Chain A
Amino acid sequence: MRYLIKYTKDSEIKFVAHLDLMRTLQKVIKRSELPIEYSKGFNPHMAVSIAQPLSVGVHSNGEYMDVVLGRELEENYIMVKMNENTPRGIKILDVVKVIPVEGVKKPSQAMAIIDAAKYTIKLKCTDEEDVLISIKGICSSGEWNIIKKTKSGEKMVNIKPLVYEFDYTVDNLMLNISTLIACGSRDNLSARLLADYMSENIEAINKEAFVDITREELYATKEDKLVTLSEFFKK
C-alpha cells in the first residue's frame, strides 16, 4: 500500500543536503517500525522516494515523500508513529493513502505530477526606498533574463513565463517575496535562480547576506486546477 507523506524541513536543518535528508527519513521510518517494503536484489533499498529535492540552505513547510508499506495502516497511526521518531527539524504534517483508481494501471508517483511550487524568499536590503523603486520596474518589465549555468555551459533564459504569481512587501530592511513558480519535470524554475535575478537587478540588496528561501507547498494539476499534492491524492 502506497502512502503520500507531507513533512517539514525546518529552518534549523536547512543546511542538511538532499541525500542526507533522505537517509534521515529512512531512519525515521525504521525507528517507527513501519512495515516498509524493500527493493529486491543484493542491496535492498527502502521504498521511499522524495517528491522534489530541496537544495541545501532551503527549508520547507510542504515536502512530500512516497512510501510503500507491506500492509495497510491507519493514516493517523503512521503520522503519530513517525512524529514520535523524528529529529528536531522534521515534522510529519499529513499522511494520505494513495488509492488505486479503477481502470488506471497505477497511480502516478508524486514526483511525476508536480507542476508548481510556492516559495517565500527573503532578501536582506540596505535601503527600502531603492528596493521598492527597483522592484516596481522589474515587475513592469516583460522579460526577466538571467544567465543560467548548466552542465553544458551557460545560457541566457527568460524566467518570467515560469513565474505564475508574484507578490512582495518590504519592511525591516527585508524584501519578502511570495511567489508561485513552475516546478517539476515539465517546467522548472529554481527559487534560487529567481532570488539571484532579484539580487542582480536590485542594487540595494545585500549581496553578502544569506537569502532565506522557504518552500511553502507543492502543487499538481487536477481538473485544470492547481491543488496541493495532498489534495490531489485525497478522495
Chain B
Amino acid sequence: MNKISDDILFKVEKPARYIGGELNCCYKEIDKIDIRFAFCFPDVYEVGMSHLGSRILYHVLNERSDTYCERAFAPWPDMEKQMRENNIALYALESKDSLKEFDILGFTLQYEMSYTNILNMLDMSGITIRASQRGENEPIIMAGGPCAYNPEPLHDIVDFFELGEGEEIMNDVLDIYKNFKGRKKEFLREISKIRGIYVPSLYEVSYNEDNTIKEFKPKYDDVPSKVKKRFVVDLDKVTFPEKMVVPYTEIVHDRVILETFRGCTNGCRFCQAGMIYRPVREKSTANLIDAADKLLKSTGYREISLSSLSICDYSDIRNLITTLIEKHKEDHVSVSLPSIRINSFSVDLIKEIQKIKKTGITFAPEAGTQRMRDIINKGVTEQQILEAASSVFASGWSTIKLYFMVGLPYETMDDVRGIAEISDKVVAEYFKIPKETRKRGLRVTSSSAIFVPKPFTPFQWAPQATMDEVVEKIKAVKYAITSKAVIYNYHESVVSFLEAVIARGDRRVCDVIIKAFEKGAKFDGWSEYFNFEIWKEAMDECGVSGEFYAYRARSYDEILPWDFIDIGVNKEYLILENEKAKKVELTQNCRLGCTECGVNVNFKEGTCFKGCVI
C-alpha cells in the first residue's frame, strides 16, 4: 500500500481529490477476491466522478463477489509533481495500492483530448505504455466509451476495447478472465470471439501509396473480421445501482443522475451519439421513480438530474417529472434537465420544474439559418426558436444560452452570420414582452463550438473547416451582432483541429499521441495545459500530417479506419443522409416512422422503442 503522507497532501490544491473514503464506496478484502479491477477516468476527480457510466459500472463490477473494483483518476499536475518527487506510484483510491498491482485497468474514453492522460497514468504507475512491449505480467489495459468507436489511435496502448454498453460485456470478459489469469495472450485471443470485443493486436493494416487504408484484416482465422457493438436489450432488466458514491468535495454534476433512456431518434447529421447508441430503449416511469427514491435515500442529495440524449423525447416525460416533484416536495428535492428541445412543450416542462428551484435555460439551435439547420437535420424552425424564447422571457427568465456550431459541412458565410441574426432576434423577443412582466437584466449568451467530423455520422467523410476559415467565420459572427445584450463565446480552433485528427485517425496517429506525451502533453482538454506546439512537433517527428486526417474529404469507397465496427446502422444510410444534406433535405424523426437506418434489421434483438409508452 502507498502511504499518501500528509506532508504531500497539505501542499497540493484540493487534497480531498486524493483521499477516497467517500460514502457508498466499496471496500473488499484482497485475499477474498480473484480479480482486481481499476476503473480509470483519464481526467481530474471532479470531472470523473460526475460521469454516470463510470458510477454505474463501478457498482456493477463490485456486485461480483470475485471482483474488487476500485477507482483512479488523473492527478492534477501539482499532485503529480509531488508524487513523482516522492516516488509514489499512481494508486487506486480505495486500497491506495499502485495500479501496477491490478489485473485489469479499464479506461473510459469520453473525449479525445484525454488520451495523453491515459499514457501519463500508465507511466505514473510504472506500467509500460506500448501494448506491444508490455510484459505478460503487467496489467491488462482495456478501454470503452464513445471514443472507442474509433479505437485505432490507441491501438498500441490498449490491449482490448469494449464496443457498446458495458453492463453485460464486462461480466462476460471477467468470467473468462478467471480461467486465463496470468496468460494474457491466450486471454486476449479468447475474448476476441466475444461480441463487442476488439483486440487490436490480432488485426493488421496495410496502406496504399496515398496513405489511405488498403486492407484491414484479422491475423488469424478464428478472429472475427467484423466487431459488432453490444447493447442492453431491455433497460428495465439491467442492474441500476441503488447506491452511488457521494464525494466529500463538490464535483461537476453533484446530484443524483437518473438515466431515462438510451439512443436518440432525431437523426441530427453531425451527432455521433445519435447513431452509435441506437436503437432507442427506455426505462419505465415506475422503475425510474423507484430508482430515484432509493438513490435519494442512499445519497442524501436534494437534486435529481434526468439524463439522456434528448430528454424531452422520453415518452412519459411529463408524468415522470410531475411525479418526481410531487413525491419529494417535502424534502425540497429539485429536478433538473440537462438540455431541452426547443419547443413550447419543453418550456412548459421547465416552468413546472422551476417551481422548486430556478435553473438556467439553454437552447441548442446548432446553426444560425434555416438552410443550415435543415442540412444538419436539426428539425427546428426559426419560429419555434423565437416562440420558445418569448415564452421563456414571459415566464420570468432574463438570461438564456444558445449553442451553435461553426465550420459545418456545406456552410456559407451567410449561414454563419445567421448566428448573429438569430441571437439579435431572440433579444427582440425580450423587448416584445411588456416591461411590467419581463424580468430585468437581459443577457443572451451565444456560444459556438467548432465542428469536428466524427466517425459513424453522415459527415464522417467531410473535411473539417481549416483554422483560417474558422477564424474568418467567428470574426463574421462577432461583427454581425448588433445587440449589446448578446455575449458571444467561441472555442479555440487548434483544439478542434487536434480533436479532428484523433477522432478520425488511424494506427499511425498512435505514435503521435505517444510522442506528444513524451514531450509533456497532458490535460489537453484544459486550456491552461494545452500546448499545440508539442503536438505540431510530435506530428512532424512522426511524419504524420494532421491535415490528412482533419482537412481531407474522403470518398465513399475509401476504407475508413473504423469500418470493421458494426454499429447496426448501415453505411448506405449514412451515405444517403449525407446526400440529403447536400440537397438540404430533411429526414423525419424516426418516432414518426422508420427511416430505415438498419439497426432493427441488422441486429435481430434490436427492437426500436423498447419500453416506450406509445
Interface residues of A (CB under 8 A from B): 12-17, 19-21, 23-24, 26-31, 33, 38, 42-44, 56-57, 85, 87-89, 208-210, 212
Q: Are A56 and B15 in contact (CB under 8 A)?
A: yes
Q: Which of B31-39, B153-161, B216-224, B246-254 is near enough to bind chain A?
A: B246-254
CB-nearest residue of chain A relative to B300?
A: A27
Cβ–Cβ contact A20 & B21, under 8 A:
no
- What residue of chain B has the Cβ atom nearest to residue A124's Cβ? B7
Contacts of A209 in B (CB 8 A): 7
Contact assessment for A85 and B300 in the assembled complex, using a CB-CB cutoff below 8 Å: yes
B interface list, Cβ under 8 A from A: 5-7, 9-10, 15-16, 19, 21-23, 246, 248-250, 296-302, 331-332, 357-358
Indicate if the CB atoms of B7 and A210 lie closer than 8 Å. yes
Asked whether, in the complex, the Cβ of A17 is within 8 Å of the Cβ of B298, the reply is no
**Complex interface: chain A residues within 8 A of B296 (CB):** 30
A12 in contact with B21 given A30-B302, A56-B15 (CB within 8 Å): yes
* CB atoms of A16 and B298 under 8 A apart: no
A42 proximity list for chain B (CB < 8 A)? 357-358
A sample of 7 cross-chain residue pairs with beta-carbon separation below 8 angstroms, ordered by A number, consists of A16-B249, A20-B16, A24-B23, A30-B300, A42-B357, A208-B7, A210-B9
The answer for the CA separation of A133 and B299 in the assembled complex, in Å, is 52
Instruction: Quote the shortest CB–CB distance from A7 to chain B (angstroms).
Output: 14
Interchain CA distance A12-B297 in the complex, whole Å: 25
In the complex the two chains form, is B23's CB within 8 Å of A23's CB? no
Residues of B with C-beta under 8 A to A89: 21
Is A15 touching B301 in the complex (CB atoms < 8 A)? Answer: no
Given contacts A209-B7, A210-B10, are A87 and B21 in contact (CB under 8 A)?
Answer: yes
Partner of B6, one of A23, A44, A85, A212: A212
Given the interface pairs A27-B301, A31-B300, the reply to whether A15 lies near B15 with Cβ below 8 Å is yes
A16-B16, A30-B300 are known; give 7 further A-B pairs, CB within 8 A. Answer: A13-B16, A14-B6, A30-B331, A43-B357, A44-B332, A56-B15, A210-B6
Q: State whether A27 touches B299 (Cβ < 8 A).
A: yes
Using Cβ atoms and an 8 Å threshold, which residues of chain A touch B332? 38, 44
A57 to chain B, nearest CB (A): 5
Query: A17, A85, A88: which contacts B21 (Cβ < 8 A)?
Result: A88
Known: A15-B15, A42-B358. A87 touches B23 (CB 8 A): yes
A209–B249 alpha-carbon span in the complex (Å)? 24
Tell me the bound Cα distance from A20 to B302 in angstroms. 15
B246 touches A87 (CB 8 A): yes
Complex alpha-carbon distance, A26 and B246, angstroms = 12
Q: How far is the CA of A43 from the CA of B333 in the complex (A)?
A: 11
Cβ contacts under 8 Å, B299 to chain A: 27, 31
Name A31's contact: one of B6, B248, B249, B298 (CB within 8 Å). B298
Docked pose: A89 CA to B5 CA in angstroms: 17
Measured CB to CB, the nearest residue on chain A to B248 is: A16
Complex CA–CA separation, A15 to B19 (angstroms): 8
Q: How far is the CA of A30 from the CA of B333 in the complex (A)?
A: 11
Nearest A residue to B10, CB-CB: A210
Closest A residue by C-beta to B334: A43
A15 touches B9 (CB 8 A): yes
- Bound-state CA distance A24–B251 (Å) is 13
Interface centre among B249, B297, B300, B301 (most CB of A within 10 A): B300
Q: How far is the CA of A208 from the CA of B19 in the complex (A)?
A: 21
- Shortest C-beta distance, A17 to chain B (Å), equals 7
Q: How far is the CB of B257 from chain A (nearest CB, A)?
A: 15
Measured between beta carbons, the chain A residues less than 8 angstroms from B331 are 30
In the assembled complex, how far is the CB of residue B25 from the closest CB belonging to chain A, in whole angstroms?
Answer: 9
What residues of chain A lie closer than 8 Å to B250, measured between beta carbons? Answer: 19-20, 23
Q: Quick one: closest B residue to A10, CB to CB?
A: B21
Which residues of the other chain, A, contact B248 by a CB distance below 8 angstroms? Answer: 13, 16, 20-21, 24, 87
The 5 closest A-B pairs by CB, nearest first: A27-B300, A15-B15, A210-B6, A87-B23, A30-B300
Set of chain B residues within 8 Å of A14, measured between Cβ atoms:
6
| B315, chain A: closest CB distance, angstroms | 31
| Residues from chain B with Cβ under 8 Å of A24 in the complex | 23, 246, 248
Give chain A residues whose Cβ lies under 8 Å from the Cβ of B21: 12-13, 87-89
By beta carbon, the residue of chain B nearest A30 is: B300
Q: Decide: A15 and B16 in contact? CB cutoff 8 A.
A: yes
Residue ID in chain A nearest B24 by CB atoms: A87
- A-side contacts of B301, CB under 8 Å: 27, 30
